[in-house]
Amino acid sequence: MLRWALIFFIVALVAAVFGFWGIVAAAAGVAKILFFLFLVLFLVSLVGGLMRRA
């Protein structure tokens, strides 16, 4: 999932260079959502792993 967030971020950067601002906004929004979803799932799995060991 982090890979997809990075891909959308790169798409947003390339689109910004060429001046496609609508695509920039959409790709950056998707990248942000995927990154935060990855972060939440990572923290949940981290806490779950710590609870299982205790």
1-54 pLDDT per residue, tens = 788 888 988 999 999 899 998 988 999 999 899 999 999 999 999 999 999 987
d(CA 44, CA 52): 12
pLDDT at residue number 4: 87
**Looking up tokens 């967030």, which residue turns up?**
5
Count how many domains the chain has: 1
DSSP 27: H
Q: Domain range for residue 21?
A: 2-53
pLDDT at residue number 54: 73
- Do the beta carbons of residue 37 and residue 1 sit within 8 Å? yes
Tokens of 13: 């950067």
- Single out the residue of 42, 15, 17 nearest to residue 29, CA to CA: 15
